[in-house]
Amino acid sequence: MVNQQKDTEQKIMNAAKDVFQQKGMTGARMQEIADKAGINKALLHYYYRTKEKLFEKVFEMAFSIFIPKMQEIMLSEKPVFEKIEFFIENYMNLLTKHPYIPGFVINELNRNPQILVNIFEKNVQIKENKLFEKFDNQVQAEVQMGIIKPIDTKNLMTNIIGLIVFPIVARPIIQGIMFENDKKQYDAFLKQRKDFVIDFIINSIKA
Amino acid sequence: MVNQQKDTEQKIMNAAKDVFQQKGMTGARMQEIADKAGINKALLHYYYRTKEKLFEKVFEMAFSIFIPKMQEIMLSEKPVFEKIEFFIENYMNLLTKHPYIPGFVINELNRNPQILVNIFEKNVQIKENKLFEKFDNQVQAEVQMGIIKPIDTKNLMTNIIGLIVFPIVARPIIQGIMFENDKKQYDAFLKQRKDFVIDFIINSIKA
DNA sequence: TTTAAATTTGACCAATTGGTTAAACCAAAT
DNA sequence: ATTTGGTTTAACCAATTGGTCAAATTTAAA
């Protein structure tokens, strides 16, 4: 039955996502993924022939979660300030739902930067629509118009994403040192940061 | 001979640092470390009984590289603006020399947050001198004096460290997307960011 | 109901892995 | 020269790991 098939495939993907994102490619065990999916290990290899192939699927899905919203916001007709506000708001919410993904992606890309090239080759549209260039043009246009202080867009983007992502990937160390490992306190910290980061960025660039 | 001993131990540590920091605890192989150190694998276990123990040593050394400078700057008598400037300048330079460490530390702490607790237990002085509290007091004092805009020190610290560290740990993805994977261009980007981040932070908090 | 294809499983395998051991080696003290 | 202690090695081991395979089971079509 097709439903059974889809179900098994889904159970595998969910289990694989959990295990790979928590333990990384080298730390993940096929047996653990099979157990978590409630199936035989041989069935894992029946659906995804190798660990490598299963990992690639998981990585692609993790990576692609953050693409559509980015495109939607960046390609909209809003002015820069609004785009930045939407971007920060949306991505911080997205990260609350998927806190393991950024660390997972960053770590695996450090292990093997080639993965990114493969993803771009498979999924041309991501690279092709040149999101960054478009945003850069808009920023520099608003700089000319005197709305924004002169700023390099690459530095600006790095700042925005860094301020969003860093507290998530470095959570264990920040929570440990500055919050005495208090989980609830850190969750509250992350929550208040949404408005804080927006104000921080906007204030820093408005003319 | 004691010299030989120290030499072997040093060769092991150097090799272990390379392999662990590049491949992580789970990806590292004792055989590769032995090969890189130019010794027999059994000798590895003769000096450091288990992979776990060797890893702990490497992690501790990596972690401790970033402590002394932080203490020196934070405990000095400089005003906040100068401290921040020194901090950013020094840590960006330090990261240029040890670019693998932040990703390594972040990744291993996500895998096993307990490591941090163990380090604090072993090295009480790090936790005990309450660096953060002292800096917090100084910041809030300067806020009262009207030198700095009102700001939460935890957010400020997170911003500072995030802006420094993020471009290093996320290098593969930023370099890939914004710099067409051009290594030299990205090195130049990192270099110009030293002054950029200092100005960015100072401007954002000066009253 | 029969049949053929797809799905699932238990048993198994070869390679890799962290770790051990007994013997060899080597420098320094006697 | 011999002994003694730490150092280094080759050979080995048990456990783990990703992966395979033939048989069993389930599913859907004829």
Q: List domains and CATH numbers for chain A.
A: 2-55 (1.10.10.60), 66-205 (1.10.357.10)
Whether B1 shows a pLDDT value over 50: the answer reads no
User: Could you tell me what percent of chain B has a pLDDT over 70?
Assistant: 94
Annotate B115-149 with b (16+ C-beta within 10 A) or e (fewer).
Answer: bbeebbeeeeebbeeebbeebbebbeebbeeeebe
**pLDDT value of position A4:** 55
DSSP assignment string, B95-112: HHH-TTHHHHHHHHHHH-
Whether B2 shows a pLDDT value over 60: the answer reads no
**pLDDT value of position A120:** 83
How many angstroms is C1' of C15 away from CA of B23? 21
Token pair 């694989």 in the structure block, residue: A16
**pLDDT value of position B128:** 61
What is the spatial distance between Cα B16 and Cα B44, in angstroms, rounded to a whole number? Answer: 10
What is the spatial distance between Cα B205 and Cα B83, in angstroms, rounded to a whole number? Answer: 13
Each residue's pLDDT tens digit, B60-71:
999 999 988 888
**pLDDT value of position B5:** 60
Average pLDDT, chain B: 93
**pLDDT value of position B6:** 64
Whether B123 contacts chain A with CB within 8 A: no
Chain B residues with CB-CB distance to A169 below 8 A: 106, 110, 169
Q: Is the CB of A28 under 7 A from strand D?
A: yes
Annotate A153-180 with b (16+ C-beta within 10 A) or e (fewer).
Answer: bbbbbbbbbbbbbbbbbbbbbbbbbbbe
**pLDDT value of position B49:** 96
**pLDDT value of position A131:** 83
**pLDDT band, very low/low/confident/very high, at A2 (cuts 50, 70, 90):** very low
pLDDT higher for B117 or A146? A146
Chain D nucleotides close to protein (CB under 7 A) are 6-11, 16-22, 26-28
Whether B105 contacts chain A with CB within 8 A: yes
Annotate A62-80 with b (16+ C-beta within 10 A) or e (fewer).
Answer: bbeebeeebeebbeeeeeb
Token pair 């072993």 in the structure block, residue: B122
Cβ–Cβ under 8 Å, residues B195 and B88: no
